[in-house]
Structure 1
Amino acid sequence: MEHGTMPFFATRTAAPALSRPRGDTMKSNDGEGCMTAWLTVVGIGDDGYAGLGRHARRALLDAAHVVGAKRQLDMLPARLRATREAWPSPFDLSGLLARRGAPVCVLASGDPMLFGVGATLARQLSPDEWRVLPAPSSLSLAAARLGWALQDVGAVSLVGRPLATLARHLLPGRRLFVLSADGRTPAAVAAELAARGFGPTRISVFEHLGGPLERRIDGLAQDWHVDETAALNLVALDCQAGPDAPRRALTPGLPDDAYRHDGQLTKRDLRAMTLGRLAPAPGELLWDVGAGSGSIGIEWMRAHPSCQAIAIEAHAERQRFIEHNRDTLGVPGLQLVAGRAPAALAGLAAPDAIFIGGGATAPGVLDACWASLKPGGRLVANAVTLQGEMALAAWRDVHGGTLTRVSFAHAEPLGRFDTWRQPLPVTLYDARKPDAADAAAVAGASHPSNPTDA
């Protein structure tokens, strides 16, 4: 074995006995006695029916219908009277919801509320219609095997998601669990890590966690040679960066050379200021109007995994830049709309924030953006021309907000000496759209109370 390399080990481990959660009592909203939920979501591990607790078995015995993946349905004993139905492809809940009122069980892997069907059902059902009986998740089992504190480990799912999703999560020293799409995912992850400069990352692949076929494979990303593992697997990453790995922080202001562009790029320092005013929060949607290279939308989405962005760009070559940059920087979910505002804005989901990087002088752009912005949302626009500055100043006179002139200078060589080189100054406009609370405050100020003496 060469010095500095990590060998591959494949070990098979007998699964330990697992404790199971107790069922919850369902109560009606009016507090008068108990009511029975028609749907029970049962978390099942690779140890199958034998590993289920008493409440989960009782739910399956009482069910008229059981829905799940074929692999999970095959784990059930023949004595269960319920009809069995595999999930349709493509995945669809309509058949399940049509059985509303009948006793139904849904089988889900491990903890149904962790990247599972439970999270999907939560958006469709009221709390009194269903209950969840979780089993230990694959993440919990893997953390126990590795001795990792679960609260310190990130998680990313590649089930139905592009491999580029992983890039946003790659930071030196970070530990990650990756939910695999299939048996080829571990090799693809290893290749992606090596290509991005994270070849020294330690990888552990867990097959069939919690079941009799449990197996663990260890190695380094740069030396990985296992082309395919069991389809049911989880990948654990202890991220280590090589000497050439670029540092890609999650805070705003990535280096300009992180982007492919033709000069239409909000530069690093101004980009950090702009994102600070846009103030991304989890679950919020941004419109990046006149997106150029897509840098504002990309860094908005890097702020939190649930942040979303739509980039609107008319220039064909810049659209290609956006597609490249979103994958390279780990936000392949950035939506690209090819077109020019305001026409291209029609029909888009209402945003929580809007950035106008180009086109503030175009007729109707500011009006369309302001009309579409949610109450309480933020509008930020940058301009470098006198005409753009005048348009933003006129807009502020009507709608309020603030104007800031921003100028940067960078030291650059001048012969044997250095001097300050200064690009064009930028006018930055930001405003918050009034909401109901603002309207109430204005109304209250207009009609103050007049208390009388007792």
Structure 2
Amino acid sequence: MSDRITVVGLTDNPDPELTEDARLAVSQHRVFAGGERHRGIVASILPHDSDWITIKPPIGKVLVAFKEEPGPILAFTSGDPLFYGFGATLQKAFPDAVYTYYPSFHSLQLLAHRCRMPYQSMRYASLTGRGWQELDCALIEGAQLIGVLTDRRKTPAVVAKRMLDFGFSEYTMIVGEALGGAEERVCEYGLEDAVRLSFHELNCIILSAFQPHVKLFGIPDSTFEGLRGRPNMITKMPVRLATLSRLGLVNARNFWDIGFCTGSVSVEARLLFPEIDITAFEKRSECSVLLEHNSKKCSAPGIRQVMGDFFLQEHSAYTGDQETVDAVFIGGHGGRLEEMFACIDPLLSIGGRVVINAVQSESLEQFHQQAGQYNYRIFEDMKIAVDEFNVITVAAAEKTRKA
């Protein structure tokens, strides 16, 4: 493989708008890469004896083709190659290559200009082959202006429906379709209208808030839907906030809530720390709908729900890219706390924390015993009494050595 890669950004204009330097770079190459759409746009300016590497899934095969090509390669991408683009993919795959970039406006910049909209404060979220995390985080944090890159599955209609389901109704949606092309269209919609519409497959979105989203710090217990016949079976708000503090979520990347019941701890954590990955485990089937309802009532999307016996799960599947978990709340252990520590410890990161809310002294003593056995640093217990309910002890421990 050559150590030189050139990347040129395109709009959908059928007459490529390239700088003089970019056109010179094209004339000096014989091997090109890009999607079929890009090939159609630049076909008229490619040298007659050129070769083409089609960029399409699986990307691994494309990267192999790059590696096997002995000469320099010029790749065409959409917009800015370093804005959620193939340029970043190439850098990760070939970090020692020498890169030259000729960017164009990316689609969200084009859309902002079409709307004559200043965009220096815009938050960005890509849904293109990705999950909802970036958009969820921006919505929960109440971003006033959010630029969204869509794909064929996460269309503007799907985005609008998800936003309405989780109570983010305070936005209008501007959709830019086929920007720079012959079929270009820019329209603004209410979310209720966008849900019912279809759009050109090449589109992007700007969400603009017309009023602030109401944020909560300490969700009132009455907000949560509880178990039928057991309305008090919920981690009360003061205990919930103390628990999240002890978990050290401000420094965490992912969090497990074991035995989520109503989902109150996960929901509160999602609103206060929207950037972290949350997985909630529960074996009681009736709790599944409770978490779904409570997440929507509190505008807390993005909590991963895992139903069934915790001990039978493939725990490593919920550790993320770092292959560890940073914080674990044990809301229920079924008398198997020793086994639970054995499951958690190999995956808990150094500095990761485990927290339990103990009502009975036996549970507290067993927690201390297990934490001590694994040489965790044990924090001072925190006792909390809420109204006429039993005193709750919030106990926490931190892992200080490798598994």
Paired position in structure 1 for 2:329: 355
Q: Which runs of 5+ in 2 are unaligned?
A: none
Counterpart residue identity of residue 333, structure 2: G
2:166–2:301 CA contact under 8 A, matched in 1: no
Counterpart residue identity of residue 73, structure 1: R
Paired position in structure 1 for 2:390: 424
Paired position in structure 1 for 2:60: 93
Moved more, 189-198 or 37-46: 189-198
Counterpart residue identity of residue 274, structure 1: T
Q: 1:166–1:276: structure 2 CA closer, same or farther, 3 Å change rule?
A: same
Q: 1:266–1:116: structure 2 CA closer, same or farther, 3 Å change rule?
A: farther
Paired position in structure 2 for 1:157: 126
Counterpart residue identity of residue 86, structure 1: T
1:220 aligns with 2:190: yes
Q: 1:381–1:205: structure 2 CA closer, same or farther, 3 Å change rule?
A: same
Counterpart residue identity of residue 384, structure 1: V
Paired position in structure 2 for 1:3: none
Paired position in structure 1 for 2:345: 370
Q: 1:256–1:71: structure 2 CA closer, same or farther, 3 Å change rule?
A: farther
TM-superposed CA distance for 1:394, in Å, is: 2.7
Distance 2:100 2:291 in 1: 43
Distance 2:225 2:14 in 1: 49
Paired position in structure 2 for 1:47: 13
TM-superposed CA distance for 1:36, in Å, is: 6.4
**1:181-260 counterparts in 2 under 5 A?**
181-182=151-152, 185-193=155-163, 199=169, 201-211=171-181, 213-222=183-192, 227-240=197-210, 247-249=214-216, 253-256=218-221, 259-260=224-225
1:288–1:355 CA contact under 8 A, matched in 2: yes
Larger Rg: 1
Paired position in structure 2 for 1:406: 383
1:178 aligns with 2:155: no
Deviation string 1:377-414 (CA, Å, 9 cap, x unpaired) is: 222222222221111233455533213333243xxxxx
Paired position in structure 2 for 1:75: 41
Deviation string 1:390-442 (CA, Å, 9 cap, x unpaired) is: 11233455533213333243xxxxxxxxxxx3322221122332258xxxxxx
Counterpart residue identity of residue 94, structure 1: K
Paired position in structure 1 for 2:103: 134
Paired position in structure 2 for 1:433: 399
SS at match of 2:76: strand
Distance 1:277 1:255 in 2: 20
Moved more, 52-61 or 230-239: 52-61
TM-superposed CA distance for 1:74, in Å, is: 1.0
Over the matched positions of the two proteins, sequence identity in percent amounts to 26
**1:310-325 counterparts in 2 under 5 A?**
310-322=279-291
The alignment of Structure 1 onto Structure 2 pairs a total of residues equal to: 384
Runs (4+) off by over 6 Å: 162-165
2:368–2:378 CA contact under 8 A, matched in 1: no
TM-superposed CA distance for 1:239, in Å, is: 1.8
Distance 1:291 1:226 in 2: 35
Distance 1:57 1:200 in 2: 45
TM-superposed CA distance for 1:106, in Å, is: 3.1
Question: Which of 331, 335, 338 is equivalent to 2:308?
Answer: 338
1:143 aligns with 2:112: yes
Counterpart residue identity of residue 367, structure 2: L
Q: Which runs of 5+ in 1 are unaligned?
A: 1-34, 410-420, 437-454
1:114 aligns with 2:91: no
Counterpart residue identity of residue 353, structure 1: A
TM-superposed CA distance for 1:111, in Å, is: 1.8
Distance 1:113 1:294 in 2: 38
SS at match of 1:99: helix
Distance 1:299 1:121 in 2: 39
CA RMSD of aligned residues (A): 3.7
Distance 1:303 1:55 in 2: 48
SS at match of 1:136: coil
SS at match of 1:368: helix
TM-score normalised per structure 1: 0.70
